[in-house]
Structure 1
Amino acid sequence: MTQKFAILKDGQVWYIAQDRPPEIDTPDGIVIIPPEMSHEGMQEYGIYQYEEVGIPSFDLYHTNNISYEILSDKVVGTWTSTWTTVEQMKIAKREEIDNAWKQSIQAGSFMSEVAGIRVDARRNDIDNDKDNLEEIINLGEAGLIAFPFQWKGVSDTVSLTLDDLKILRLEIGAYGLQMYQQKFEAFGLLEAATTPEEVMEVSF
């Protein structure tokens, strides 16, 4: 790992250099920092070895802050993460719930009782299992396809009668309704949350 350096100005950390700086701007002009210059020599120009403690939280629920401690031989930067405001957290959590709901609708699946296998319940621009099933039922009622029909689930295929397919249609509809109910139940819990911990407990 490349050694980082803290550049000080007026006794404060000015910026963090990713590598040993080849030169430094001083009130007396540009000073070249040769590779052989000692750390003590570099410190005379406000160049200190730098270390970091802690890891920032890269999510929408925390604010990251870093504090610097200037020691005799190095500068230590310490990361701390604190919750954002409850209202900001609610906005982020609402988006998280909505994205999870969209995923459950666009690429959802469930264990079907009538089929005995896990079946898709996708509703997106490419796949719409409910519409496909509806079309098969219509063709079956018109006597245009033979039964039992081979219905492909998530990873298995099963033979189903026309009556089975009609029950499966109801199951897919019930799955969609359940996802909607689950979404708005989560929104209700989120609205009632008053602390960061309560916000984070809410999930889709």
Structure 2
Amino acid sequence: MLKICSEVGRMGPELRRRRQREMVADSIPEDRMIEMISKDSDIQYTVESFNQENIVYVVKINEDGKIASCSCSYFKFNSAVCKYMYLLKRHINVEVEVLSRMETLLSQAHIPVLADTSVNNDISDSISSQDVEHSTLKRNIRLELDSFRHLKRSINAINDHDILDNVYKKLKEIRQIIDSADNSRRIGTQRSLNN
């Protein structure tokens, strides 16, 4: 006997939010959608941000041929299919994989990157491209650091000693780099105040 799943009655909150994200993706005109999406490889696409210029997100397809992850903050924080994944689904007509929270958090999704600005060089003269890159890097680092609080629960599920040891060492190394840079900045500020 076939099991038929139908969504009858009121939508639950998650289903409503999922449908809203899908409707946002559906509202993009066909010609604009084609401009927004570029194929990097058979398993990776780049999708422009819906509302931020020069920001692109990496959407990946898994070995089963389903859309599996996105580098946008919504996907990272909520482990739910985002509007960029729905837009790619509409564009290439491929199903979206719904992953468990653990698989999503441990995935290797890339962080948002600046799009090629050589085509659109309308950045004002008062803001250098290096300032824009620094600002973007700082924002991306803050997003990554924010995502660590979501990983706290996932750490309990890891039983491999080598993985835990490696994660611990890398986190300590990151903290040392940030502390060292902060100390250098403080010393520089103190020296300039003394002069």
TM-score interval, normalised by the smaller of the two chains? under 0.3
**Bigger share in helix:** 2
Structure with the bigger percentage of strand: 1
Structure of higher CA gyration radius: 1
